[in-house]
Structure 1
Amino acid sequence: MMSHAILLALAPVFFVMALGYGAGRLRIVDNHQVGGLNALVMDFALPASLFVATASAPRSEMLTQAPLFAVFGGVMLVLYFAWYVALHGTTKATKADASLQALTIAFPNLAGVGLPIVSAVLGPSGTVPLAVALAAGSILVSPLTLILLEFTSGPKDAETLAPARRLLRALRRALSKPVVAAPALGILFSLSELKLDGVTEACLLLIGHAAAGVALFLTGLILSAQSFRLDWKVVAATAMADIIRPLLTAAVVFVVPVTPEVAKVAILLAAVPSGFFAILFAVNYRLDSATAGSMVIASTIFSIVTMAVAIAVLFPQ
């Protein structure tokens, strides 16, 4: 029964990624022109899904997820800054490359991998904590990366502005991204006890349901255009994402007073492999995504073992 649940959670993820990878390799879809699919995921489908999941949650339920937001956000920030400082301080990596790699390690693939996993393991009750965890990453670590990218790889006309104005411009651009603004607005909507009407919710869900599948297909498509490079950075990044992240989360929830349910969900979500946001950001800013892509591939493959262990230990029934 447990092996079947694990297979049910993991098989669709790798199947859809393999479809995207195969479509790119066989030239069925142009894997060098992915701007349209990227916009579909980052500007429409994923923001709609995040907004509905958070906005439709009752205020009481949203408040109970506050510890998850704090724990998950704190763990992601620690890993983000640890990798960024170590890489940028000890190698010749640019700030943009260091931030993309840090985002890859810190922010799990909750949209693509986390959603089918919580659906298989927790059922419908897992949607809200997943959305809150996604919101934590979208509000905390994604804007950090976007600010650094805007500051270092943004429009050329920004170079003529004073540093303070460049920072404010980068911050405005980062926070105005739909993938950042949508979950924040959804949380505010829920806390204000406002209700989505049925028509609005149905309209947003129709496009939002495409987020996970298209994101996984797009990830495979982008990875098909890159060669896999196994080096010390990829190995270290895989260890940080698949082993250190869930273990660090387990240590935090052991010290911080949270309910057993929140602790289990936090550890399970932390065991999800590296996310694809950095790859999509790299495409947006026309940067090299090969290293981040290799990290995602290695982390996803290795997570077959780590996620299976996490599910078996946390949810043995």
Structure 2
Amino acid sequence: MAYVIIKALAPIFLIMLLGFYAGKAKMVDNKNVALLNVFVMDFALPAALFSATVQTPWQGIVQQWYLVVVLVLSMWITFAAIYFISTKLFNKSAQDSAVLTLTVALPNYAALGLPILGSVVGENSSTSLSVAISIACGSVLLTPFCLLILEREKARASGTAHGSSLSMLPILIWRSVTKPIVFGPLFGVILSAIGIKMPEMVLLAIKPLGLAATAAALFLTGLILSARKLKMNAVVTLSCITKLIIQPIIAWGIVILFGLHGSIAITSILMIALAAGFFGVVFGNRFGVQSPDAEATLLLTSILCIVTLPLFITLTAGI
């Protein structure tokens, strides 16, 4: 099993390493990555997420509603807890905390979901559907929270914020929803729900963008990391423990609460037990927010999941 996990992680580390090397070698300006960020956040990732969600059968989502509930509750609880701890206990800024929180709360479904889940429950259409549902849950039901906070702080910094956060909420929601990274997957879910299938020609046309999305995001992440000095501290330690141990235990508790068994229970826990995703770091860079804690968490959880994932795979084998 460790071999399967390392095999799944190898492309991630290789592409991030290439981005890191390109930045350190000054092949790419690692302090000015705005153009690459626009490509990733406004074109490649939205195309990939739209393609994944629009091709996810609505009936399949309805049939796996338990998976949706477990994933969403696990991510929401983690998001709320880490954001509170980061802002109230460690006195981090709202922007920094939002980026860190999204990094911790949102697992790397896109890169690790299919190889890990396929090796445990088998590669079939149900497995692919579960991964697609996981990606949809993260992109539609979690990332907007991070965007809302970043948009709110951006408005306050520019002096365009008026009134309380609650009174600003409609405007912030509109700004977040109209961002391609949210609108893309949300539009895909809506089309799937009302039964509209995208023409094959359209899907083929955006396929190259989708294929480039993960690689470009990982390269960008490596490039961003090359401009920073990663440091261990209490926030990073807590974030890693939360992501790799506490969040999967939360998911397990929800599974027990609903009385789930078999592949749906295993899938729910293992999807949450994956390493941290790169969305938080990339989102932060798009808004000019640097979070060394999020970057360190991303890197360390990607390494440490080689140990924690086999543990949860073994523990969930009999449920």
Q: Which residue of 2 aligns with 1:142?
A: 143
Within 1, Cα distance between the matches of 2:140 and 2:191? 15
Q: What is the identity, as a one-letter code, of the residue corresponding to 2:99?
A: L
Q: 1:9-48 residue pairs with structure 2 within 5 A?
A: 9-48=8-47
Within 2, Cα distance between the matches of 1:19 and 1:255? 44
Within 1, Cα distance between the matches of 2:284 and 2:158? 20
Q: Which residue of 2 aligns with 1:256?
A: 258
Q: Which residue of 1 aligns with 2:213?
A: 211
State the shift of 1:259 in Å. 5.5
Q: Which residue of 1 aligns with 2:249?
A: 247
Paired residues of 2:5 and 2:306 also in contact (CA < 8 A): no
Q: 1:46-65 residue pairs with structure 2 within 5 A?
A: 46-65=45-64
State the shift of 1:37 in Å. 1.9
Q: 1:289-300 residue pairs with structure 2 within 5 A?
A: 289-300=291-302
User: Partner of 1:250: helix, strand, or coil?
Assistant: helix
Q: What is the identity, as a one-letter code, of the residue corresponding to 2:143?
A: S
User: Partner of 2:142: helix, strand, or coil?
Assistant: helix
Q: Which structure 2 segments of 5+ residues have no match?
A: none
Paired residues of 1:111 and 1:215 also in contact (CA < 8 A): no
Q: Which residue of 2 aligns with 1:123?
A: 123
Within 2, Cα distance between the matches of 1:119 and 1:204? 26
User: Partner of 1:180: helix, strand, or coil?
Assistant: helix
Within 1, Cα distance between the matches of 2:3 and 2:85? 40
Query: Residues 71-120 of structure 1, C-alpha deviation per residue, up to 9 Å, x if partnerless?
Result: 11111110111111122222322222222221111111223443554466
CA gap of 1:251–1:28, structure 2 versus 1, over 3 A, is same
Q: 1:40-119 residue pairs with structure 2 within 5 A?
A: 40-118=39-117
State the shift of 1:131 in Å. 2.4
Identity fraction in percent: 32
State the shift of 1:253 in Å. 1.2
Within 2, Cα distance between the matches of 1:59 and 1:160? 38
Q: Which structure 1 segments of 5+ residues have no match?
A: none
CA gap of 1:128–1:179, structure 2 versus 1, over 3 A, is farther
Within 2, Cα distance between the matches of 1:54 and 1:301? 29
Q: What is the identity, as a one-letter code, of the residue corresponding to 1:168?
A: P
Q: What is the identity, as a one-letter code, of the residue corresponding to 2:92?
A: A
Within 2, Cα distance between the matches of 1:85 and 1:115? 32
User: Partner of 1:29: helix, strand, or coil?
Assistant: coil
Q: What is the identity, as a one-letter code, of the residue corresponding to 1:141?
A: L
CA gap of 1:189–1:99, structure 2 versus 1, over 3 A, is same
Q: What is the identity, as a one-letter code, of the residue corresponding to 1:271?
A: A
- TM-score of the pair, normalised by structure 2: 0.89
Q: Which residue of 2 aligns with 1:276?
A: 278
Within 1, Cα distance between the matches of 2:84 and 2:3? 41
Paired residues of 2:70 and 2:251 also in contact (CA < 8 A): yes
Paired residues of 1:111 and 1:211 also in contact (CA < 8 A): no
State the shift of 1:17 in Å. 1.7
- TM-score of the pair, normalised by structure 1: 0.90
State the shift of 1:226 in Å. 0.7
Q: What is the identity, as a one-letter code, of the residue corresponding to 2:39?
A: L
Aligned residue pairs, count = 315
When structure 1 is superposed on structure 2, of 152-161 and 125-134 the one drifting more is 152-161
Query: Residues 133-154 of structure 1, C-alpha deviation per residue, up to 9 Å, x if partnerless?
Result: 2222222321111111111123
Paired residues of 2:79 and 2:105 also in contact (CA < 8 A): yes
Within 2, Cα distance between the matches of 1:257 and 1:190? 29
State the shift of 1:307 in Å. 2.4
